[in-house]
Amino acid sequence: MSLFPFAEYWWFYLAFTGFVLLMLALDLGVFHRKEHEVSFKEASIWSVVWVSLALFFNFLLYRYTLWKFPQDERLMSIPGFVPDVAAWTVSLEFLTGYIVEKSLSVDNIFVFVVVFAYFAIPAKYQHRVLFYGIIGALIFRAIFIGMGSWLMQFHWVIYLFGGFLILTGLKMMFGPEKEIEPQKNPVIRLFTRFMPVTKQLHGKNFFVRENGRWAATPLFIALLFLEMTDVIFAVDSVPAIFAITAEPMIVFTSNIFAILGLRSMYFMLAGAVSKFYLLKYGLSVVLIFVGLKMVWLNDLFGGKFPVTWSLAFILTTIAISVVASLVVPRKEAAMAAGDAVPD
């Protein structure tokens, strides 16, 4: 039984969406009304703001769960249901889902760096591209989460999602890194068949009128490619959070809060993201773990693997991969691997 069924909490989804739109309007219309290069200091401040908002929301969610459900006779009739334990579990599930999505978002940052370099997007326009990219990501994530919550009604889907996550993790761990080639993307190729694209940027404009007809600028092509890339990432991240919790509201809010902080995290880490070269192995282990959680560990622990153990494992895995990347620089690791190969 869901603690937050959509039929009863539709008003929350509307209010939360309104809050997100308000924050985005303030972001673009007030704080970034004038195009400028986002500094490390500014990005750090915004990162703290988004993380603080997510943690504050989690606190409110805990207090609301603690207050609401002792009065709900339907839930009190469930064997083993304890209000304060339920509130603590909800809070930990939100935090775990948020951390998983934040960690997986680092892959997005790698793509941002490559795409902006490929299309030669000036730093002062990158925030504009990411802003509209985030809006598109929010829409696609909402659609995927809605589809996922419906599919999760069928028990066999749990094993499908779990198996997919395990395969994705193994592919990330052992598969070769694919080069990002926007010009070969099928969506980009289809779009350029029907819409001409200018060779030069035209300031902050996504479209301009040339020779009596509209044409897209490289700024829009970069945005379109980022949107398509996020759809691919969503296929991994949404099932991963459903492995943590079956509550669609927690999946939705933790996912959205993580995406809202993605832009500031990019501007803060873009210059150093290449140093975390071992992070992909940590993320692959996390994906394999949450996949195993869906197909095996939950059943092994009577239907619910302890969320505290999940949170501890995920945090430890990510921390080890980050620290190892910093302690053993990429060149030294490559040289050690080369020395280990026999002549």
pLDDT (mean) for 65-76: 65
Residue found by looking up tokens 């994530």 in the block: 141
The whole-number pLDDT of residue 321 equals: 93
12-23 pLDDT per residue, tens: 999 999 999 888
Q: Is the pLDDT of residue 36 over 60?
A: yes
Single-letter amino acid, residue 3 = L
166 has pLDDT over 70? yes
Residue 83 has pLDDT above 80, yes or no: no
Q: Are 268 and 112 in contact (CB under 8 A)?
A: no
Average pLDDT rounded to a whole number, residues 80-96? 79
pLDDT in tens, 188-233: 889 988 899 998 888 889 999 988 889 999 999 999 999 988 888 8
User: Which pLDDT does position 341 carry in this prediction?
Assistant: 43
* pLDDT tens per residue, range 230-245: 888 888 788 888 989 8
Q: What is the dihedral of CA 316, 317, 320, 323, to 10 degrees?
A: -100
pLDDT at 179 over 90: no
pLDDT for residue 337: 47
Q: Compare 328 and 167 and report the one with higher pLDDT.
A: 167
Give the pLDDT of residue 164: 92
Of the candidates 329, 245, 313, the residue with the CA atom closest to the CA atom of residue 103: 313
| DSSP string computed for 60-77 | HHHHHHHHHGGG-HHHHT
What does 210-262 look like in DSSP terms, one character per residue? ETTEEEE-HHHHHHHHHHHHHHHHHHHHHHHHHTT-S-HHHHHHHHHHHHHTH
State the average pLDDT for the chain.
85
Query: Could you tell me which of 202, 232, 233 has the C-alpha nearest to residue 219?
Result: 202
343: pLDDT confidence band, cut at 50, 70 and 90?
Answer: very low
Q: Considering only residues 28 and 63, tell me which one the structure prediction assigns the higher pLDDT.
A: 63
How far apart, in whole angstroms, are the C-alpha atoms of residue 81 and residue 79? 6
Residue percentage of the chain with pLDDT more than 70: 91
Q: Which amino acid is present at 281?
A: Y
Mean pLDDT of 178-182: 72
pLDDT of amino acid 331: 63
Give the pLDDT confidence of 246-281 residue by residue, as tens digits. Answer: 899 999 999 999 999 988 998 888 877 778 889 899
**340 band by pLDDT with thresholds 50, 70 and 90:** very low
**Can you give the pLDDT at residue 109?**
85
**C-alpha span between 333 and 137 (Å, rounded):** 35
pLDDT of residue 70: 63
Three-class SS of residue 165? helix
User: Tens digits of per-residue pLDDT, 302-317?
Assistant: 878 888 999 999 999 9
**What's residue 237's pLDDT?**
83
pLDDT band (50, 70, 90) for residue 66: confident
